Amino acid sequence: MKIAIAGATGRMGKMLIEAVLNTSDTQLVGAIEHAGSSQVGEDAGAFLGKKTGVTITTDIAAALSGAEYLIDFTRPEGTMAHLAVAQKTGSKMIIGTTGLNAEQLDSLKIASKNLAIVFAPNMSVGVNVTFKLLEVAAKMLSEGYDIEVIEAHHRHKVDAPSGTALRMGEVIAEALGEKLDEVAVFAREGHTGERKQGSIGFATIRGGDIVGDHTVLFAGEGERIEISHKSSSRQSYAQGSLRAARFLQKQATGLFDMQDVLGLRN
């Protein structure tokens, strides 16, 4: 599989490059970075002490000219720029970018009519199995339990709550027959009054180098149930991304997520 990486000099980008270089059925053919990066023009494997022959570039079209797949963990505006070019080159996309707005999500849906895309707020296999566990738990604990989503990430993360936390809330809300935006509580301060029955609360922690911790608390009378996933390395996201690329080998068009990739949809 011929793969290009967007955000090639970032923490996730470097992890993806390393995973591609160390996997037998993948080949690195492109590396994209924004114009302000001091590493533009360098070999994409320089941070590993390896010569790949792939130069980090700001030219999206050049990076995707030979790419069957583009893996993108950047920011919404970057992802949209990459999507516009991928539609021309036919490069299938694996997108882990979070914080996309409604208009940008619509752009993915429109593009997927002609391009195969896996879009997921978290590519980790473990996280996506956790989504399935939350769906089951929410249905079984639909009465008599208060639900809180607690997430923690490193100090550099720019969006909150995390895309994974929001997806957890969506999974739970859907299982309960609700819409997240109608039951979510994202902030509490001052005299808030009693907790509203049926709401889903969110708490956000930012600090240090935390890769990503997520816990959903189901608090009932006399007992608490916690379902947690804790990441100690971005390696799980990289391996999940490659698994998504393999899934797309058999897809010509369509918008998919990791539940599709892992066969957890039903």
Domain count of the fold of the chain: 2
11 and 106 inside one domain = yes
Report if residue 84 sits inside a domain: yes
pLDDT of residue 78: 96
- Report the share of the chain in percent with pLDDT over 90: 90
The verdict on residue 94 lying in a domain is: yes
Digit-coded pLDDT (tens) for 30-85: 999 998 899 999 999 999 999 999 999 999 999 999 999 999 999 999 999 999 99
Return the CATH number at 206. 3.30.360.10
153 is catalytic: yes
Could you report the per-residue pLDDT of 138-156, keeping only the tens digit for each?
Answer: 999 999 999 999 999 999 9
Q: Is residue 241 domain-shared with residue 143, that is, in the same domain?
A: no
Residue 184 within any structural domain of the chain? yes
Shared-domain flag, residues 170 and 219:
yes
pLDDT at 30: 98
- Stretch 226-255: mean pLDDT: 94
- Whether 209 maps to a domain, the answer reads yes
Paired residues of 116 in beta bridges: 254
Clarify whether residues 7 and 115 are in a common domain. Answer: yes
Separation of alpha carbons 200 and 219, rounded Å? 11
Same domain for 110 and 16, yes or no, is yes
Contact of 26 with 50, CB cutoff 8 Å = no
Instruction: With respect to residue 77, please indicate whether it lies within any of the assigned structural domains.
Output: yes
- Cα 123 from Cα 95, distance rounded (Å): 9
pLDDT above 90 (res 234) = no
Judged against a pLDDT cut of 80, whether residue 252 lies above it is answered with: yes
Confidence grade of residue 121 (pLDDT, cut at 50, 70, 90): confident
Please give the pLDDT value at position 235.
87
Q: What is the residue-wise DSSP string for 100-149? A: --HHHHHHHHHHTTTSEEEE-S---HHHHHHHHHHHHHHHHT-SS-EEEE
Do 59 and 185 fall into the same domain? Answer: no
Residue 233: per-residue pLDDT: 83
Exactly one of 14, 153, 214, 229 is catalytic; which is it?
153
For 60-75, b where at least 16 C-beta lie within 10 A, e where not — what string?
A: beebbeebbbbbbbbb
Task: Verify that 201 and 240 share a domain, yes or no.
Answer: no
Q: Answer whether residue 266 is part of any domain.
A: no
Same domain, 211 and 84: no
pLDDT digits (tens, 9 = 90+) for 173-183: 999 999 999 99
Enclosing domain of residue 149: 125-231
Judge if 41 and 70 occupy the same domain. yes
Which residues on neighbouring strands pair with residue 28, listed in sequence order?
Answer: 3
How do beta strands 223-231 and 212-220 pair? antiparallel
- Model pLDDT, residue 266: 67
The structure's pTM equals 0.80
Q: What's the whole-number average pLDDT of the chain?
A: 95
Q: Summarize the confidence of residues 206-215 as an average pLDDT.
A: 95
Q: Which of 2, 34, 132, 157 is catalytic?
A: 157
The CATH number covering residue 28 comes to 3.40.50.720
Strand order, beta sheet including 56-57: 56-57, 27-32, 2-6, 69-72, 92-95, 116-119, 254-256
Specify whether 9 is located in the same domain as 85. yes
- 245 and 175 share one domain: no
DSSP secondary structure, 13-80, as one string? HHHHHHHHHT-TT-EEEEEE--TT-TTTTSBTTGGGT---S-BEES-HHHHHTT-SEEEE-S-HHHHH
Judge whether 132 counts as a catalytic residue: no
d(CA 121, CA 1): 23
Q: How big, in percent rounded to 5, are the helix, strand and coil portions of the chain?
A: 35, 25, 40
Exposure class string for 158-175: b at 16+ Cβ within 10 A, else e: eeebbbbbbbbbbbbbeb
Query: Could you read off the pLDDT of 161-170 as tens digits, one per residue?
Result: 998 999 999 9
